[in-house]
């Protein structure tokens, strides 16, 4: 759900965020590090499909396991 803010509200939010970043550089740095480390650990469906294929699974089995279409599996494996 996207919330549309007035220009004044956006200006106040942006100012608050600028002040927070200036006052808390270490917190922001740690947050960013945790965020990107967590992102790096996440396995995408494409990666998972490739791993299952390398283990000998058929495309149909992979599609059923990941709950995606056979065409999507085919696209993942052939790109």
Please determine, for residue 79, whether its predicted confidence score (pLDDT) is greater than 90: no
* 73 touches 46 (CB < 8 A): no
Task: Provide the pLDDT confidence category of residue 1 given band limits of 50, 70 and 90.
Answer: low
Using 50, 70 and 90 to split pLDDT, how confident is the model at 8? Answer: very high
pLDDT tens, position by position, 17-27: 999 999 999 99
Residue boundaries of the structural domains of the chain: 8-41, 45-77
Percentage of the chain with pLDDT > 70?
Answer: 97
**C-beta of residue 73 within 8 angstroms of C-beta of residue 62:** yes
Overall size of the chain counted in residues: 79
């Amino acid at each position: 759900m996207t919330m549309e803010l007035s220009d004044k509200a956006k200006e106040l939010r942006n100012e608050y965020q600028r002040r927070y970043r200036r006052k808390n550089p270490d917190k922001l740095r740690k947050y960013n590090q945790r965020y990107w480390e967590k992102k790096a650990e996440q396995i995408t469906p494409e990666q998972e499909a490739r791993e299952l294929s390398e283990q000998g699974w058929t495309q149909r089995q992979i599609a059923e396991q990941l709950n995606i279409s056979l065409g999507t599996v085919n696209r993942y494996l052939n790109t």
